[in-house]
């Protein structure tokens, strides 16, 4: 079993930056694909970014490509999402998740989820 704890959210002005963290416990996630997703009220949860277990491959939603960077530190069992040039439309609850599937961005493939952390970007 894997427990994930998201943190790092907050209120930031448009153009600013935040770094989200996802600490895993219960089992090492070094062999899992790790992802970040987000949800805004009234909308479906959507894919943001993913990173393979070795960190060699990363994937991003078109809406965040070039602004967000996902990384992982397997020694610390932690995944990060560095968000820059934030826009009001990035406002959402962000969730990290773990998947045993090697390369995926499909929500059903992610079996473990964090509790979410709120990111609010003011204009």
- The pLDDT, as a whole number, for residue 54 is 74
- 18: which strand partners? 83
Q: Burial code of 80-110, b = ≥16 C-beta within 10 A, e = fewer?
A: bbebeebeeebbbbbbbbbbeeeebbebebb
pLDDT tens for each residue of 80-95: 999 999 999 999 999 9
- 34: which strand partners? 51, 98
Q: What six digits make up the tokens of 80?
A: 């990060």
**C-alpha angle with apex 102: 76 to 57, nearest 5 degrees?**
70
Region 56-70 average pLDDT: 95
pLDDT tens for each residue of 27-45: 777 788 999 999 998 899 9
Percent of the chain past pLDDT 90, that is, above it, reads: 76
- The pLDDT, as a whole number, for residue 49 is 97
Contacts of 78 (CB under 8 A, 6+ apart): 21, 22, 23, 24, 72
User: Rounded to a whole number, what is the largest CA-CA distance in the chain?
Assistant: 40
- The pLDDT, as a whole number, for residue 30 is 75
Segment (H or E) for 117: strand 117-122
Region 69-74 average pLDDT: 92
pLDDT tens for each residue of 98-114: 998 888 899 999 999 99
- The pLDDT, as a whole number, for residue 44 is 93
């Amino acid at each position: 079993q894997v427990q994930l704890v998201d943190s790092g959210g907050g209120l930031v002005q448009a153009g600013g930056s935040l770094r989200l963290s996802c600490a895993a416990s219960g089992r090492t996630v070094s062999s899992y694909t790790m992802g970040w997703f987000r949800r805004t009220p009234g909308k479906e949860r959507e894919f943001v970014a993913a990173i393979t277990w070795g960190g060699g491959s990363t994937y991003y939603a078109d809406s965040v490509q070039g602004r967000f960077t996902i990384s992982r530190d397997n020694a610390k069992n932690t995944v990060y999402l560095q968000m820059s040039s934030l826009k009001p439309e990035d406002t959402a609850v962000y969730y990290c998740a773990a998947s045993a599937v090697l390369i995926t961005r499909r929500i059903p493939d992610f079996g473990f989820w964090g509790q979410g952390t709120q990111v609010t970007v003011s204009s």
